[in-house]
Structure 1
Amino acid sequence: MQLSLGSSTDRIPPERDLMREMAAYEALWNTPDASMRKLAALFARHPGQPPSALVAEHDIAQSRQQLQALLEGTVPPGILLHGTPEYPARLRDAEHPVELLYYRGDLSLLQTRLVTVVGTRHPTAEGLARTTRLVGLLVGDGVTIVSGLAVGIDAVAHRAALVNNGRTVGVIGTPLNHTYPPAHADLQETIARRHLLISPVPYRRYARQGYQQNSKFFPERNRVSAALSEATIIVEAGDTSGTLGLAHAALYQKRKVFILDSSLSDAGLRWPRRLEARGGIRVTTYDDIRRALQL
């Protein structure tokens, strides 16, 4: 792929062709060593430039053709592109800001108060019950629940929001036309149709890689969740849980991180005290969350 550097006056026009920008962005992912970190650094070196200013025209055309084939028969994605009014400015707080994201659903949910509720894929019965109660209280206070559609705490958080007639945002680690795990296909479609589904994952790169390489997109999904939300609540997690990466990203982005007392009281866990030492907030009752967020 050839890199084409546009002039400093190049900007996305008012009548911007977002599909073209998507094709250019996906073309940037076509190099073998592309990553969120490297693409963020590329755009940082060329501030204000849209993806199409950094990619040769023939690469954009080829990428667009391949994308059309990949998306045939699926619901076309909406596009959140840095530099457009719809793109949430708070995403720039991430260590490696994502330049372009894909979505389906109601973008107005990004204007509501967003709190991420996450935890282990292997929760205890008590953890599931705590998630259900906590989400019910948050929804009652007008909060939109963000989670990652994973097995365990994530799925329960989404479902509890739906049962309580609340709002929920799913941030996933696959392209919008994939579901992981497959058993959550109905839940993901419900969120996409009635609420909001977001993905930072490029379609073409994902389609040509294996599972092991694609699994690296899940930590990136966590960083997006942390950036979108004003706070993250960890309901239950082990010391090696991927959830902790989300918590560290949230603290890096100066977001609040809540740790339930049940985790801090567990002598077998190291992470709760480590996060508390970095600024995590201990939660003994829901009022602790309410006060910290001024709900």
Structure 2
Amino acid sequence: MSNQELSLFHNDTAIHPLKEIAAYEKLWLGDTSFKKLANAFKNKKRPSMFINHIEYESVYSQVMEYMDSVRNYYNMSFIMNGMLDYPEKLRQAKDPVELLYFSGNIDLVNLKSVAIVGTRKPSHEGIRRTHQLVREFVKDNYVIVSGLAEGIDTVAHKSALHYNGITIGVIGTPLDQFYPKSNKDLQIAIAQNFLLISQVPFLKYKRQSIRGNRLFFPERNKTMSAISDATVIVEASDTSGTLIQARAALDQGRKLFILNSCFENRKISWPEKFESLGAIRVREFDDIRKNLNNL
């Protein structure tokens, strides 16, 4: 964390990283949400300004324990809105995340990137198309962003590694959790060699139910969309969480691409809806390339 202590400034005043993490985690133990926090921080306040010293001390030891648990796998850092190197892409989000935990090279967020997402239960054709997409994006020097979920996400990350590309994982759990557990080695590899990001408050996650923690996944999709120049949907049902990212991409002024095979699937109706809102139908990769070249 020493590099953070040197680089973390707010209004030209150095602040204590561990104190800000503890304060942020304490805020989450109350009645709050990403939207509420984004509104509260609009004037560029920092977490420690919202709590007193006693409240900060009450969770400090738990913050240290969490950092130790993450170190079992990789080094943890964090970045906060107001820091000089907070990604500009995130500032453009409708409700910017105030604090992100990460492991790896945060500068990768500033490279041109595309999120490839879709169902957790892809067809053989969906898997094949994902491989092809990643191959072409890597050729064009795009970073592959996805959510480390089962299915399309996993195929996208592994394909990026296969083609010697760069990949970023944006997860819906704290950094020391692995979901699904089958992706543990993949998550560690991404964290150690590229970039792994989480916006999930670990104390809140630890204390609330599985049902409550599911709400972090849609928020993760919004962040994934924000850090990407575009989102590509390979396959998804009408009830897929992927559609949350589709909405976020359009709301955030990002390109949204939908493979033509989705339009040909008569079991779903969402592709036409999003095309009417500005999404781009993809019949061949050049449909993506020419639109991204115009950015």
Deviation at 1:74, TM superposition (A): 2.6
SS in 1 for 2:70: coil
The aligned length equals 283
- Distance in 2 of aligned mates of 1:118 and 1:196: 17
1:57 and 2:53 equivalent? yes
Report if aligned partners of 2:76, 2:103 keep a CA contact under 8 Å in 1.
yes
Task: Give the structure 1 partner of residue 222 of structure 2.
Answer: 223
- Distance in 2 of aligned mates of 1:88 and 1:193: 20
Task: Give the structure 2 partner of residue 154 of structure 1.
Answer: 153
1:104 and 2:103 equivalent? yes
Task: Give the structure 1 partner of residue 293 of structure 2.
Answer: 294
TM-score by length of structure 1 reads 0.93
Deviation at 1:141, TM superposition (A): 0.4
Report if aligned partners of 2:172, 2:217 keep a CA contact under 8 Å in 1.
yes
Once the two structures are superposed, residues 76-113 of structure 1 have per-residue CA deviations (whole angstroms, 9 ceiling, x without a partner) of 52111001022112212323221001000012211210
1:64-75 → structure 2 map (5 Å cutoff): 64-75=60-71
The aligned amino acid for 2:226 is A
1:142-291 → structure 2 map (5 Å cutoff): 142-291=141-290
Residue 40 (structure 1) aligned to one of 13, 38, 55: 38
- Distance in 1 of aligned mates of 2:227 and 2:69: 30
SS in 1 for 2:78: strand
- Distance in 2 of aligned mates of 1:284 and 1:100: 38
The aligned amino acid for 2:58 is Q
Task: Give the structure 2 partner of residue 136 of structure 1.
Answer: 135
Task: Give the structure 1 partner of residue 5 of structure 2.
Answer: none
- Distance in 1 of aligned mates of 2:70 and 2:226: 28
Deviation at 1:55, TM superposition (A): 1.4
SS in 2 for 1:117: strand
Report if aligned partners of 2:10, 2:83 keep a CA contact under 8 Å in 1.
no
Report if aligned partners of 2:116, 2:234 keep a CA contact under 8 Å in 1.
yes
- Distance in 1 of aligned mates of 2:172 and 2:238: 21
SS in 2 for 1:246: helix
The aligned amino acid for 1:105 is G
Moved more, 52-61 or 276-285: 52-61
The aligned amino acid for 2:268 is L
Report if aligned partners of 2:147, 2:170 keep a CA contact under 8 Å in 1.
yes
Once the two structures are superposed, residues 25-66 of structure 1 have per-residue CA deviations (whole angstroms, 9 ceiling, x without a partner) of 1111011x221122112212xx02111111111111222222
- 5+ residue gaps, structure 1: 1-9
Report if aligned partners of 2:130, 2:234 keep a CA contact under 8 Å in 1.
yes
Report if aligned partners of 1:12, 1:50 keep a CA contact under 8 Å in 2.
no
Report if aligned partners of 2:70, 2:175 keep a CA contact under 8 Å in 1.
no
- Distance in 2 of aligned mates of 1:121 and 1:180: 12
Task: Give the structure 2 partner of residue 7 of structure 1.
Answer: none
Deviation at 1:15, TM superposition (A): 3.6
Task: Give the structure 1 partner of residue 15 of structure 2.
Answer: 16
Matched-pair identity in %? 45
- Distance in 1 of aligned mates of 2:199 and 2:127: 28
Report if aligned partners of 2:69, 2:176 keep a CA contact under 8 Å in 1.
no
- 5+ residue gaps, structure 2: 1-8
TM-score by length of structure 2 reads 0.93
